[in-house]
Each structure stands twice: as C-alpha cells, then as structure tokens.
Amino acid sequence: MSTVPQPPRRHGGTPAMQRVSPRDLTARKGGEPIVCITAYTAPMAGFMDPHVDLLLVGDTLGMVIYGMNTTLGVTLEMSIAHGQAVMRGSQKACVIVDMPFGSYQASPVDAFKSCARVMAETGCAGIKLEGGVEMARTIEYLVQRGIPVMAHVGLKPQSVNVVGGFRVQGRGKEEAKAVLADAKAVENAGAFSIVVEGTVESLARKITEVVKVPTVGIGASPACDGQIIVAEDILGLYSAFTPKFVKRYAELGVAVSNAVENYASDVRARRYPAREHLYGAVEPAKKKKAPSRSRAKVRT
C-alpha cells in the first residue's frame, strides 16, 4: 500500500539489538558527533532509531504534543507513558527520559524516587534533568545509586519563570562564568553527558573544551560533541514558535494538511471508499446479451 518505510518491529524470537549505552556515549567525547533527537511516540521512535545515537523523551512533549505553552505542566505519568512508547518503538538508540518539573528538585531523595520509577517502568537507559551547581548534589546522589544522568545547563526551560523567558545564556561575562561553573559542577557530580542549550557559541566551545564528558548542543555550537533537536521542529510539525537554530528538513505539517484535504474531498464526492477498499464488494451486474435471433432481426 504505502511506500513509506515502516518503523522496525520486534518479532517473537528475534534477539533484541544491543542498545547504545550512556557509557558508550561518554566514550565518544571529542570523536564523531553524537546524534540525538527527541521522540515521544512508538512510530516516530521507530522511524528515527536507525539514524541516531540517542532518543530523548523530552519534556518538550508538553508543548509539541499536548499544546502547552511551556514544559511545566508535564507530569511523571506522562513522561513514563511516552518513555514506554519510545522504548517499544526503538531497538538501538540509547533512550533517555527527561524528568518533568517538580519531580526531582525538592531533594535528592525525592529525585531518586521519581527517577527510579522512570527507570523501572520504562526500561530507559538513564534520565535527564535541568540544573547546574544547585543540582550537583542530587546528580551525585542519583549516579551513586545506579541512575545515569544527562545534565542540562545554559537555557533551562523549566526555569522560564525565574529567568523571564526563553533567553540566550552567556552573553555577559558573569552569566558565561556561571554557566561554565554549572557545567563543571555537573561533570564533577558524575553526569555522563551535558546538554548545553541556548548559549553563545564561545561559551559552548569553552564548556566543551573544559569538561571531560560529551556536550550535546541545542542552539549552542557545532563545537559541541553532539547535537540534539526537537524532532517536530525540524520536520515541520510544530510551528507555534521556531527558534533561530532550527533547520527545517521536511514540511510534514503541510503534507498532513494536504493529505487530509484530499481525503475530505474524496469522502464528500463519494470517491472514497472505492471498490478496492471494500470487503465482499458485490460484482457489478453484467449486461445481459441480447438473444442472437433478435440481433439478427435488428440487422435485417
């Protein structure tokens, strides 16, 4: 029917593919760039899995899937449900689940309870959380208890109400110093990798030079050890806001709109469903042949 490649599926008896692990990614520091992208559903995870190293079940799902204005309304239950879907749809990539706002900030113990639930209920390889110096103790607590942590510094969308919007970080000297200190703190705490979001290029370059774990940039710099992006942004499936750093690789929103417009006009004109879409379609009645005698008669 369709020529679109289908997401790979697991079949009974087929041995599961070895996934990329957080340790594998840490070992990639300074090597071939690490390719990361967000995924929230099983089919999308399946399409993207063969091409990337890491799938992040980002809390951006609140905005791009649920239509929220910020990521703050995402719950642990939502992250777990989407984490499970992405794990089901993928085989190879390292799957990391983003911890939602309010699920880890209060204390290391609270963070451990939330993260352990996410790890146990989704089977993901690790979690991501936002924060620098202020979260270092929590990161250390989690890592020491078996939870691989991807840290996230620079622009931290969960702090949007404190910093006054989605603002590029590190333009001033003091701010740049603070973000660098954040990156060093989370590295020392044991993070296996650090997302650097929305920072000026010189700062992302500096952070990448000084930390020993890979940096993964978004709106940061090609100097980072890898890149991450929100899939819906590059596929043309989210247009409420398009940041400067987004490159559009497809216009799937337009393709969906066109396809549904065609479907609607086919339904209205009764062109769809056609005969080939019917179960047990009745053959059209064959025209009866006129008896040869009468034909002969007509001819005469």
Give the start-end residues of each E strand in 68-144: 94-98, 126-130
H helices within 11-107, ranges in order? 22-26, 42-48, 61-64, 76-89
Which is closer to ligand KIV, CB of 211 or CB of 230?
230
Of 153, 48, 123, the C-alpha closest to 92 is 48
DSSP per-residue string spanning 229-266 = E-HHHHHT---S---TT------HHHHHHHHHHHHHHH
Q: Is 225 in the site for ligand KIV (CB under 6 A)?
A: no
Q: In whole angstroms, what is the distance from residue 239 CA to residue 233 CA?
A: 7
Peptide bond into 108 cis (omega under 30): no
Nearest residue to ligand KIV, by Cβ distance, number only: 58
Q: Segment near ligand KIV (CB under 6 A), from 52-60, 81-89, 115-123, 254-262?
A: 52-60
Is residue 197 among the annotated active site residues? yes
Q: Segment near ligand KIV (CB under 6 A), from 54-62, 172-180, 241-249, 273-281?
A: 54-62
Contact code string over 151-180 relative to ligand KIV, x by CB under 6 A: -x----------------------------
Q: Is 189 in the site for ligand KIV (CB under 6 A)?
A: no
Q: Is 53 in the site for ligand KIV (CB under 6 A)?
A: no
Q: Is 230 in the site for ligand KIV (CB under 6 A)?
A: yes
**Given 140, 187, 197, 232, the catalytic residue:** 197
Q: In whole angstroms, what is the distance from residue 251 CA to residue 6 CA?
A: 19
Shortest Cβ 206–ligand KIV spacing (Å):
20
Which residues are near ligand KIV by CB under 6 A?
A: 38, 56, 58-60, 98, 152, 195, 197, 218, 228, 230
